[in-house]
Chain A
Amino acid sequence: MSRNLVVTEFHMSVLFDPSILPGCSSDLEKSIIPGTRLYPISEGYRAGLGCYEIHGFVFSSLTGYTYVYDSNDADGNDIKVVEIRKKFNEKHRIVPVADAIVTARVEAIGPKSARCSIICVENNMLNHEFNSTLRREDIRPNERGVDLLKCVQPGDFILSRVLGHGDAQSGFLISIIEDELGVILAQSGDERLIPYTSELVRSPTSNYTEPRKVALVPNMNS
């Protein structure tokens, strides 16, 4: 019966933590349940995480406390974004999305792909890991038949980009084709190896090196 209702939900970028903004003013205000009418849109309020807009008003969709902060919309006008939070500095749930840079740990190498666990999305550590797959053709540009074991090894930490969803067995699909993506910390036996050149990782204590597809992270400090 109510399937014809059109609901527009304002999708905040999940990677944006607004509490660091200088314009963030109020503390957590009233406690509310889903479906509570909050503020009118005409007075400059917009729906953030946990709210939705309908009939010219911002309604809540979660239980928690309202939290209002200042922001600018697409046209540059001042708006007040209403969010529902349970704690003041709550970290929002982060899920890997397409085109996001993620940090993953390589769990196992197969014949044509590597199984990895995504542990961070951009700057946020996740509460639990997501399964993902790094295919052989997504490692080096223009090379489809690379030797997987010379590029990544189990235990390595890689910086990669999410291509999208795979099926239930493979989880997310990730790629390290770009120069800035690849192995950032490698493991050999008990030892941690650090990046040395674009093709080698080296032990910090000895001269022992191993081949990897190393991430050329641009050096911002020099």
Chain B
Amino acid sequence: MINEEQCVVNCQYSMATFSVPDRRNKPRGDRRGNEFTRLLERAFESAILVKNYPRSQIDIFCEVLEADGGNLAACVNAASLALADAGIPMRGLVTAVECGSVTGEACADLSSREHSDIVSRLTVATVGGKDEICMLDLKNIIHKDHVPQLIKMAMDANAQIHSCLESAVLIHMKKCYALSKRC
């Protein structure tokens, strides 16, 4: 699909067959995988400066090698680092975290053993570690009184993740790009 005004962001979310304890038969194409694909596309479409690249396409392919909860959040973080390394202009690094609400108490970054049908899980992605949310995904039901605390927990966690990603990017940049003055 050619868009004359901006670039198209095309994502793929795939889980390796060995990534989960019970071996998966299909790496991609299931409903949850397709849903994650669309969520990734929308998240990065708002963060990447798409007006710079009309009639073009940016492909972001994520492959989960070891799944232990928070798969979507991990893909978002990995894709942010890949885009920063590739030199794609973005409004900020997109960070994500999966938080759960257990009987009203908010918990950050659930593992897969902590997943259950009665615990509601919210994956929140923000841009630049600030208060701007670019993606929200809720699994299971949550009482509306528990939502503000859960979102606040997710924002705080995102700010910390953002500073981790920031220092990783800067260290990587200094290693890769020798700063040569006036050469």
Binding site for B on A (CB under 8 A): 1-3, 5, 7, 9, 27-28, 31, 33-35, 50, 52, 59, 61-65, 86-89, 165
Determine if B110 is an interface residue (Cβ-Cβ < 8 Å).
no
Shortest C-beta distance, A11 to chain B (Å), equals 9
Cβ contact of A2, chosen from B46, B49, B166, cutoff 8 A: B46
Q: Answer whether A87 and B89 are a contact pair too, CB < 8 Å, given A33-B84, A63-B169.
A: no
In contact, A34 and B173 (Cβ under 8 angstroms): no
Instruction: Please indicate the chain A residues that have their CB under 8 angstroms from the CB of B49 in the complex.
Output: 7, 9, 52, 61
| Interface flags, B125-138, vs A, CB<8A=1, else 0 | 00110001110000
User: What are 14 of the A-B contact pairs (CB < 8 Å)?
Assistant: A2-B127, A28-B179, A28-B181, A34-B92, A35-B127, A50-B89, A59-B91, A61-B49, A61-B91, A62-B87, A86-B177, A87-B177, A87-B180, A88-B179
Which 6 pairs, one residue from A and one from B, show the smallest C-beta to C-beta distance?
A35-B92, A61-B89, A35-B128, A34-B90, A2-B46, A86-B177
Q: 16 other contacts beyond A34-B91, A165-B55, with CB at 8 A cut-off?
A: A9-B52, A28-B179, A31-B174, A33-B92, A33-B93, A33-B166, A50-B89, A59-B91, A61-B90, A62-B89, A63-B169, A64-B177, A87-B180, A88-B179, A88-B181, A89-B183
Measured CB to CB, the nearest residue on chain B to A65 is B179
CA of A1 to CA of B91, assembled, Å? 14
Binding site for A on B (CB under 8 A): 46-47, 49, 51-52, 55, 84-85, 87, 89-93, 127-128, 132-134, 165-166, 169-170, 173-174, 177-183
Grouping DSSP codes into helix (H, G, I), strand (E, B) and loop, the A interface class, with mixed when no group exceeds half, is loop
In contact, A63 and B87 (Cβ under 8 angstroms): yes
CA of A8 to CA of B177, assembled, Å? 29
CA of A59 to CA of B130, assembled, Å? 14
Shortest C-beta distance, B4 to chain A (Å), equals 9
In contact, A7 and B91 (Cβ under 8 angstroms): yes
CA of A183 to CA of B173, assembled, Å? 44
Measured CB to CB, the nearest residue on chain B to A19 is B182
In contact, A34 and B181 (Cβ under 8 angstroms): no
Instruction: Please indicate the chain B residues that have their CB under 8 angstroms from the CB of A165 in the complex.
Output: 55
Instruction: Please indicate the chain B residues that have their CB under 8 angstroms from the CB of A59 in the complex.
Output: 91-92
Instruction: Please indicate the chain A residues that have their CB under 8 angstroms from the CB of B89 in the complex.
Output: 34, 50, 52, 61-62
CA of A81 to CA of B181, assembled, Å? 19
Measured CB to CB, the nearest residue on chain B to A8 is B51
Cβ contact of A35, chosen from B85, B91, B178, cutoff 8 A: B91
